[in-house]
Amino acid sequence: MEMERLGEWVFILGVVIAIISGLAFESLQVSDSTRYIEIVLVVLGIAVGFLNIKDKEIFNFLIATIAIVAVGAANLDAIYIVGPYLAHMVLYIAAFVAPAALVVALKAIYSLASNKS
């Protein structure tokens, strides 16, 4: 399997794990299982940062990451019935994309620093 396809599957897997974990937050609570889920999401996020995001996509990816983190800061729990599920899904998605954003931002900084124009 080529790296681009692998990157796509890693991204899909990360989003699916984040959504399922957000929907199952009541049964998970804070336990070893949530820590393992978060570790898996961080590792997948790092992989996405290395495999998926090309130079021309850096700006859009970082803006999208900022938007997700901003939504995570909103009080989604206040939304009747579905709010807590949405809040946890967004938190898990942020845990997935934040490490990818770190990798992408570091790649962008390196690219800017290494250009000798």
Residues contacting 43, CB < 8 A, separation 6+: 99
Determine, yes or no, domain membership for 73: yes
CB of 46 closer than 8 Å to CB of 103: yes
Determine, yes or no, domain membership for 117: no
Structurally, the chain folds into a number of domains equal to 1
Going residue by residue through the chain, which has 117 residues, state the pLDDT in tens, using 9 for 90 and above: 587 788 899 999 999 999 999 888 777 776 777 889 999 999 999 999 999 888 889 999 999 999 999 998 888 888 888 889 999 999 999 999 999 999 999 999 998 888 755
Owning domain of residue 23? 3-112
CB of 91 closer than 8 Å to CB of 72: yes
